[in-house]
Structure 1
Amino acid sequence: MRAIPSPPPIRSTLVALLLAGLAAQTPSPLMASTANQMAEAAVEAWKRGDHRAAHPLLKRLALEGDPSAMTLLGVMAARGLAGPRNPAIAAAWYMRAAEQDHVPAIRALAAAFRRGEGVVQDEARADALEARARQLSAEPMAARR
């Protein structure tokens, strides 16, 4: 049986940016208070290293459409931070966030395709995703809306 290699370390800067993006989300005024409280609680739990506490909060935010939460759930699944390591679930969360043009998710998905982790290895798709991430990074945020 072939051992599954661990993915490369996640850059702390990427996680910090995702957490900052999560904390800065501004949902509809009706849901703002609850969503902001959940986001703040998830960020605090993550910072404490309590990923099991952060997971349900992030999942709820992700199911409400938050791409930063989706990407963090992908990171958690890829690393096994709140349960067993599951690259397929990680890739699925990255794909959902990438559909919203979330650059960190697109980059994580490209890396998954390049390594064949959770998806069939596909260098061409990885290259296309990396090109898309570069394109989005060069565009002003207002142009994406």
Structure 2
Amino acid sequence: MLRSVYVAGAVLGAAIFGIAGSAAAQSLEGAMATYYRGDYPEAMQAMTPFAKDGDRHAQYLIGYMHERGQGVPQDYAEAANWYAQAAELGHPFAQNNLGVLYKHGRGVPKDLVAAYAWFGLAAEGYQAAEFGHRERALANQQDVAARMTGEQLTEAKKRIQEHHANDPGLPEYRPPNVR
């Protein structure tokens, strides 16, 4: 009888410790490390709670996995959904990738005005150390601008200004240092 109590206590303790241990180990950094190791299904599962809680980098990576079909079936509409959430929170890579989806009409209706605005916001958000990303966003923006009317350009610039006016005041985006 006493042995059964000890065994039950040990099993319960291990279960509680295991749950607490795995929760503690499941930090955003741990989830991202899983992604960078290439374990995409596990990364998706680990990152989803962070994304749902509003972490812009987790939202971006989930969008990226949906766009590329990493660990999930390729789904441009779902990628656009996650990119949009991260983009609204100032994630420049999400802003750029959302611009690309709008430029080509992948998962969202083709919308050059939206593409132009997202490329512009991405270019503003990239840091100098992010080799060539700013220039690529600006080149994408100019490519889109060449196909827009003056009225569309005015609307796109207005959207950029509105985004700035509604900026939630989040800290400047810094990519996590995980790899």
Whether 1:67 aligns to 2:68 is: no
Deviation (angstroms), 1:79: 1.0
Partner of 2:84: 95
Instruction: State the distance in 2 between where 1:56 and 1:129 align.
Output: 28
Query: TM-score, with normalisation over the residues of structure 1?
Result: 0.67
Whether 1:49 aligns to 2:38 is: yes
Instruction: State the distance in 2 between where 1:100 and 1:72 align.
Output: 14
Instruction: State the percentage of identical aligned residues.
Output: 33
Query: TM-score, with normalisation over the residues of structure 2?
Result: 0.55
Residues paired across the two proteins, number: 108
Deviation (angstroms), 1:120: 0.4
Gap runs ≥5 in structure 1: 1-33
Gap runs ≥5 in structure 2: 1-22, 128-168, 172-179
Deviation (angstroms), 1:35: 7.2
Following superposition, which runs of at least 4 residues in structure 1 exceed 6 angstroms of deviation? none
Contact residue 59 and residue 69 of structure 1 kept, 8 A = yes
Partner of 2:118: 129
**What are the superposed Cα offsets for residues 40-83 of structure 1, whole Å, 9 maximum, x if unpaired?**
32122212211000001111110111000000000110111112
Deviation (angstroms), 1:99: 1.0
Partner of 1:115: 104
- CA change 1:83–1:37 in 2 (3 A) is closer
Contact residue 35 and residue 61 of structure 1 kept, 8 A = no
- CA change 1:38–1:144 in 2 (3 A) is closer
Deviation (angstroms), 1:144: 5.3
SS in 2 for 1:118: coil
Deviation (angstroms), 1:111: 0.7
Instruction: State the distance in 1 between where 2:66 and 2:126 align.
Output: 25
